[in-house]
């Protein structure tokens, strides 16, 4: 499968713990996005990378959230001191051509904070 892959697919953690999610985009895609999706809602934009540069962050991304894409390939999203409100599906997407516009999503990492 050469699509976007995310790991882990499911994570259950206790409030206050730190969690990290990994995303491997489609290999030739230089743009990478993180979205968050809660039950019954559409995905919400969190942040965007072009190569290794983080070019935009949503106001939804509090200082407990940090994302990196150190070599312009895979990306990590870390949540520190998790809260119950962080429970959601975290979706990664990648794209290549701005003119096409299509985002290719991964299957997501589901976070449950107890």
Q: Can residue 12 be called a binding residue for another protein (CB under 8 A)?
A: no
Q: Can residue 41 be called a binding residue for another protein (CB under 8 A)?
A: yes
Q: Can residue 28 be called a binding residue for another protein (CB under 8 A)?
A: no
**DSSP-assigned states of every residue in 74-105:** -EEEEE-S--GGG-EEEEEEEES-TTT-PPEE
Q: Which of 2, 40, 70, 84 binds another protein (CB under 8 A)?
A: 40
Is the separation of the CB atoms in 25 and 74 below 8 Å? yes
What residues from 49 to 88 belong to the interface with another protein (CB under 8 A)? 50, 53, 55-56
Q: Can residue 112 be called a binding residue for another protein (CB under 8 A)?
A: no
CB atoms within 10 A of CB 53: 9
């Amino acid at each position: 499968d050469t699509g976007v892959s995310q790991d882990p697919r499911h994570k259950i953690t206790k409030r206050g713990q730190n969690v990290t999610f990994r995303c491997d985009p489609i290999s030739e895609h230089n743009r990478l996005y993180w979205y968050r999706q809660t039950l019954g809602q559409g995905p919400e934009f969190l942040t965007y990378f072009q190569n290794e540069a983080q070019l935009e962050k949503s106001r939804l991304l509090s200082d407990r959230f940090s994302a990196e894409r150190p070599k312009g390939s895979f990306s990590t999203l870390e949540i520190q001191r998790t809260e119950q409100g962080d429970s959601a599906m975290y979706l990664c997407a990648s794209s290549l051509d701005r003119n096409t516009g299509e985002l290719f999503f991964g299957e997501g990492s589901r976070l449950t904070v107890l």
